Amino acid sequence: MAMYNDPYLKIFTLNSNPELAQEICKHVGVDLGETSVKRFSDGEVQVNIEESIRGCDVYLVQSTSEPANEHLMELLIMIDACKRASAKTINVVIPYYGYARQDRKARSREPITSKLIANLLENAGATRILTLDLHASQIQGFFDIPVDQLLGTPLFASYFKEKKLEDVVIVSPDHGGVVRARQMADRLEAPIAIIDKRRPRPNVAEVMNIVGDIEGKTAIIVDDIIDTAGTLQLAADALVEQGAERVFASCTHPVLSGPAISRIEESKLEELIVTDTISLPKQKQIPQITQLSVGPLMADAIIRVHEQTSVSSLFN
Ligand code: R5P
């Protein structure tokens, strides 16, 4: 393996996604830093960094995926450990930023939990956040430290281009996803359609209408998160019922909770493409799901941050 020649660049993983952290290290050309993250017998998190990080630029890889609270707490404690061990910078690499959907007061007396998480990370000592496809871009503004947001669209677009699909239409499953759908449509030179989705209560979706021409076309639904797969199942089935020929979907973050897998299996979806921001246990690795790695992309971004060169040029 070609080694990255800077002993002051250190990458550590916590427990959410060690496979992705390994992949990132492989592409950067460094060994994963030595650390142990365990539990005391009462469940409290115990972190030990097993090598000196004094004066180092440290990158901590951790998605705040399920169990979100456990993974978040591991991360906060690790940041504290790095600060007290005199790291020069503490760069938090959060491939999947959990709690991102609670980004505003949609109803009275609701918290803005994604802002709370930003405060916690920053107060613990994070000096930079590197993340991918935030549910809402305004979350960047919840931090007063730099937030580099990477995009999954180029990765998905290349995959779809290689499939040489014909007569494609890019579909946003709700109004909030139109910008994301437009980015994909631009890359694939395809038109877009929009689903008028209503959510009467959390985790329950209801299709109202499809805006745009989908008749006889290959629809690609573009979303950032697939959680219970309610949105995707409804969208895929509505598209086929209303005349689409084939339906594919790309969702960056495979949360896949509750009934998600059975809903995907029962749906009219031909293939769902996700990334490895959240690792998939064996029982979720079904033939309909293809997982692309964001390891090389995150590794490139880490090198650019470390060498202080442009990150956005990765997407141009
Ligand atoms: C919503 O705004 C998101 O972009 C996703 O559409 C949503 O989180 C997916 O959730 P589920 O799979 O539970 O319908």
For a ligand 1 pocket test, name from 114, 174, 227 the mutation site with the most ligand atoms within 8 angstroms of its C-beta: 227
Domain-located, residue 300: no
Domain-located, residue 162: yes
User: For tokens 């995907």, what's the residue?
Assistant: 264
Mean local confidence (pLDDT), 189-209: 83
Q: Identify the helix (H) or strand (E) that includes residue 10.
A: strand 9-13
Give 44-64 pLDDT, tens digit per residue: 999 999 999 999 999 999 999
- Residue 202 is predicted with a pLDDT of 77
Span from the CA of 151 to the centroid of ligand 1 (angstroms): 18
List the binding residues for Mg(2+): 135, 174
Cα–Cα nearest to 290, from 185, 165, 159, 181 = 159
Domain-located, residue 315: no
Domain of 160 in residue numbering reads as 153-292
Within this chain, do residues 163 and 253 fall inside the same structural domain, yes or no?
Answer: yes
Span from the CA of 231 to the centroid of ligand 1 (angstroms): 6
38 is catalytic: no
Within this chain, do residues 242 and 260 fall inside the same structural domain, yes or no?
Answer: yes
Q: How many domains does the chain have?
A: 2
Ligand 1 pocket residues where CB is under 6 Å? 101, 173-174, 176-177, 203, 205, 223-232
Residue 208 predicted with pLDDT over 80? no
Which of 115, 197, 268, 284 is labelled catalytic? 197
Sequence-ordered alpha helix ranges (H) in the chain: 18-28, 68-84, 113-124, 153-163, 178-188, 230-241, 260-266, 295-306
Quick one: what percent of the chain has pLDDT higher than 70?
Answer: 99
Within this chain, do residues 27 and 145 fall inside the same structural domain, yes or no?
Answer: yes
